[in-house]
Structure 1
Amino acid sequence: MGSLSYTATISLDGYAVDADGDFQWGAPTPEIFQVHLDRMHEVSTEVLGRNTYLLMKYWEAEPDDEEWADAEREFSRRWQALELIVASSTLTHDDLGSGTARLISDLTLPALEQIVADAAGEVEIFGPTTAAPAIVAGMVRDFRFFVVPKVVGGGVRALPDGARLDLKLVESTTYDNGFAYLHYRRG
């Protein structure tokens, strides 16, 4: 049986995406990219919504030329080894291409509980909209935030309204660029 986690890069005022739909202000430095790469050892399954899946589809095939660094090639290799579950009522199986992603049209809480129960390791739910019902329901055990020292003033909140959680800080790191990594576990 696995456990459920939620990881997000967020602004100091708590947004994962700004009001213009931009999130590039949270692009990882090589040091932070390595942290993402290292934490993937624990993850066996990714649950993603439509937008996040389409963004991460980039990692499903390595380019033929030399444009990727070694860390990017390793991230792609690890990403391709994950079980990907895409929650979308608008995508079709054809939209997923030839990858190994599995499409479910409605990610109910019982369906998510079954995904976690069947997982060999950590199940990471990726994307604030997709994660919101599980967060509010108290299903997420681990929260990992990469906090960017930027205030964006609005957009898509990393944590949903209505969530009431008691969390314990289990790990924290600050980086030279001002980013902070905060790992909380449900109390």
Structure 2
Amino acid sequence: MSKIVYSATMSLDGFIAGPGGDMSWLIPHLGPNPAADRLVAEIGALLIGRRTFDGDDPNKGTDKEGAFGGAWSGPHFVLTHRAPATPVPGVTFVGDLAEGLAAAKAAAGGGYVNIIGADVARQCVEAGVLDEVVVFVAPVMLGGGVRLFDRPGGAEVRLERVEVTESPRATSMRFRVAG
């Protein structure tokens, strides 16, 4: 059965994107990371938020463009209420979380459904379907932008630490969402 995992690279002060969704801050922090490589090998499908899908890929136009620096390819599902008029090759647009999760799980073939996007992650937490969180902490403070997780007034979410690893460019932390 496919697990739902939210993964992101985060600045030390808690941001996954800079002001205006800027992702260029990531470039000096990308590179060899065994924990990321293991995660990529476990992913069967991606469920992506529309803002993230439309966002600023720091590797755009290079051979590293795409999820995980171009290291992952496979089924992409984009959660949106505004699907484009023209189809995007290799991408399926879905209208609600339940539909997106069902389609991504079916496509994942038992592998992880990896959530990309803070708002989709928040929706998964609120729906009680998130199984794991993987955070790659980069040694930088952005001072503003999109938070890893933002749920004002929300209830506490308990996590159990599964693994902490270090690579030259980031500290990786893997957590299981506690029931």
TM superposition score category, shorter chain reference: 0.7 to 0.9
Letter in 2 for 1:84: H
Q: Does 1:185 align with 2:173?
A: no
Q: Does 1:18 align with 2:18?
A: yes
Partner of 2:146: 156
Q: Structure 2 CA distance, aligned partners of 1:87 and 1:14?
A: 23
Alpha-carbon contact 1:136-1:163 (below 8 Å) kept: no
* SS of 1:183 mapped into structure 2: strand
Letter in 1 for 2:103: I
Q: Give how far 1:83 is off.
A: 1.4
Deviations 1:92-130 (A, max 9, x none): 15151xx221111x223x324523653412101111122
Partner of 1:87: 79
Alpha-carbon contact 1:166-1:186 (below 8 Å) kept: yes
1:141 is aligned, of 124, 128, 131, to 131
* SS of 1:39 mapped into structure 2: helix
Q: Does 1:128 align with 2:89?
A: no
C-alpha RMSD over aligned residues: 3.0
* SS of 2:52 mapped into structure 1: helix
From the superposition, tell whether residues 20 and 87 of structure 1 become closer, same or farther in structure 2 (CA, over 3 Å): closer
Give the ranges of 4+ consecutive aligned residues of structure 1 lying more than 6 Å apart after TM superposition.
56-59
Partner of 1:30: 31
Number of residue pairs matched by the alignment: 171
Partner of 2:167: 175
Q: Structure 2 CA distance, aligned partners of 1:50 and 1:93?
A: 14
* SS of 1:94 mapped into structure 2: coil
Runs of at least 5 residues in structure 2 that lack an aligned partner in the other structure = none
Q: Does 1:115 align with 2:103?
A: yes
Q: Structure 2 CA distance, aligned partners of 1:68 and 1:100?
A: 17
Alpha-carbon contact 2:24-2:58 (below 8 Å) kept: no
Q: Structure 1 CA distance, aligned partners of 2:96 and 2:103?
A: 10
* SS of 1:164 mapped into structure 2: coil
Q: TM (normalized to structure 2)? A: 0.78
Q: Structure 1 CA distance, aligned partners of 2:32 and 2:24?
A: 16
Alpha-carbon contact 1:142-1:183 (below 8 Å) kept: yes
From the superposition, tell whether residues 163 and 48 of structure 1 become closer, same or farther in structure 2 (CA, over 3 Å): farther
Runs of at least 5 residues in structure 1 that lack an aligned partner in the other structure = none
Q: Structure 2 CA distance, aligned partners of 1:126 and 1:48?
A: 5
Deviations 1:135-155 (A, max 9, x none): 233311110001112222222
From the superposition, tell whether residues 56 and 87 of structure 1 become closer, same or farther in structure 2 (CA, over 3 Å): farther
Letter in 1 for 2:17: V
Q: TM (normalized to structure 1)? A: 0.76
